[in-house]
Amino acid sequence: MNIQASLNYARVFKEDHDLSAMFLYNHQSTTVDRDGGVSAAVPNNFEGYTLTMGYKYKSKYLIDVNVAYNGTDRFGKNNRFGFFPAVGVGYAISEENFFKNVDWLEKNVQLLKVRASYGLVGSDVAAGNRYLYEQVYQQSGNYQFGDYPGDTPIIREGDLGTPNVTWEKAKKFDVGLDMNLFNNISFTIDYFLDKRYDQLVTRADVPLVIGIGYAPSNVAKTTNQGFDGQISYQDRFGKFDFNTSLVFSYAKNKVDFKAEAQQKYPWLTETGKPLNQPFGYKWIGYYTPEDIEMIAAAKNDPTINAPAVPYTDMPVQAGDLKYADLNGDGSIDDFDKGAIGKPNLPTTTLGWSFGGYWKGFSFNVLFQGSFDYSFAINGTGIESFKSQFQPIHTGRWTLERYQNGDEITFPRLTTNPSTVNSAGTYMSDFWLIDAWYIRLKTVDLGYQLPKKVLPKYVDNIRFYVNAYNLLTLTGYDKYQQDPEIKTNTAGDAYMNQRVVNFGVQLTF
């Protein structure tokens, strides 16, 4: 059930003062059936009150004020409602008399506007039990009682509730510039800063000895900032119409606090690093036959400074990947994992489109690109003897190639999936690569017949050919995978396909 009621007001005073306001009431009650309608769950309830006010003076000075008072049943009765105000201001410099009095500016600058906004927003979306403030009990398997045992359902204690849990919040700041120039160029750019706090996450700094889980609580803090914008151009050259547009975005984030467990070494901490920062081993080369001899000798003579080896019953062999012993204890284990590479989310994205029209002929082209991110492939996507062999396997370590001084680009091949050469078992910066790509995403070519040659009952006939994924340039050669795949997976089962379509559009 969704109930909405609104009250609107708008008036212009003395032709210069434009005032508007709106009050909105919103109530949502959503019921989700567990099994298609037989046993309905308790409804989800949300209630909100919103007031929006706007003022413009001669279209030069602009101000908007928004106030929201929202409530959700996910939190306790004393924490259900949150107050979220926001304000935005704008200044259209191009509307000023001193601007219009300059002939060159009036003729060539159609719009020059600066704007800024600041506000507080909230969210009640979080993992875990729906009612985060309550202690829960859950059904967990069965137990057998009596001389003639029968299955009896078990009810166990679930996560402890968080009594004071409340809304996640984010302070959002944005400042921007809008320009229209020469009647054919438009430009907009924004800088944004997003400071999130009271984020709902499950604490990791509580000792496991307590023997029970915790519901998410308001402890995490993150920062996200960057800029984005768009530049567009359109013009007419005789009978040829042309347009182009560039969209760009750059953003970086950081974990300010997440209530993680106290780490033994500083390189193990996630606080202060980007969200979803990958962790793994630092690759320093391959074990050589000389390394293997030193490792064997060190078992009988501890004074020998042999290379560190993985903490496992699987002995290393010449040609295996060798990793840095960050804590210097002679063993490669979880304490030697540090931040490697970059998250799987690009910090920079670009999109460039251009098109034109001339005497019925038209074309449109779109390029897209992403930069400054990392990904890794494991399992059948790269590891030997799990799927087909790949070109990089020809550069594997062999004794002959090592002795000849050949370039080695891959560890020795093995059928054992648990050795140090497995990306799934020992993730490292050997497998995690920095990536970027530029892709010719779409091309569309067409021709529209002149109306004078069309049959009587046909309004339009257009012949076209379009194509997708015609060309992709990447910054890596280790993997034969599409650059948009999810990291730490085997990648795509099939390569990204190029698609070409031919067709005719008829309008009657």
Tell me the per-residue pLDDT of 205-263, one tens digit each, with 9 for 90 and over. Answer: 988 888 888 889 999 999 999 999 999 999 999 999 999 999 999 999 999 999 999 99
Query: What percent of the chain is predicted at pLDDT more than 90?
Result: 72
Give the pLDDT score at 412.
95
10 Å Cβ neighbour count for 253? 20
Spatial separation of the C-alpha atoms in residues 65 and 54, rounded to whole Å = 6
Give the pLDDT score at 35.
54
Spatial separation of the C-alpha atoms in residues 252 and 227, rounded to whole Å = 10
Domains located in the chain, CATH noted = 2-262 (2.40.170.20)
> Ranked by mean pLDDT, which of 200-204, 267-271, 457-461 comes out on top?
267-271
Reply yes or no on whether the pLDDT at 457 is more than 80: yes
Give the pLDDT score at 144.
81
> Ranked by mean pLDDT, which of 39-43, 49-53, 415-419 comes out on top?
49-53
When pLDDT is averaged across residues 479-505 and rounded to a whole number, the result is: 87
Name the region of 281 (left: φ>0; alpha: ψ -120 to 50; beta: rest).
beta
pLDDT confidence band for 32 (50 / 70 / 90): low
Which ranges in 12-70 belong to alpha helices (H)? Answer: none
> Any idea which residue has 């984005």 for tokens?
228
Spatial separation of the C-alpha atoms in residues 273 and 260, rounded to whole Å = 13
Tell me the per-residue pLDDT of 372-403, one tens digit each, with 9 for 90 and over. Answer: 999 999 988 898 888 778 889 999 999 999 99
When pLDDT is averaged across residues 93-104 and rounded to a whole number, the result is: 92
Spatial separation of the C-alpha atoms in residues 508 and 498, rounded to whole Å = 32
Give the pLDDT score at 33.
60
Reply yes or no on whether the pLDDT at 36 is more than 60: no
Give the pLDDT score at 389.
83
Give the pLDDT score at 218.
94
> Ranked by mean pLDDT, which of 15-24, 207-216, 305-314 comes out on top?
15-24
Spatial separation of the C-alpha atoms in residues 451 and 460, rounded to whole Å = 7
Reply yes or no on whether the pLDDT at 37 is more than 70: no
pTM recorded for the entire structure: 0.88
Question: Which residues 6+ apart lie within 8 Å of 326 measured at CB?
Answer: 265, 267, 282, 335, 336, 338
Give the pLDDT score at 38.
43
When pLDDT is averaged across residues 297-307 and rounded to a whole number, the result is: 90
Tell me the per-residue pLDDT of 257-294, one tens digit each, with 9 for 90 and over. Answer: 999 999 999 999 999 999 999 999 999 999 999 999 99
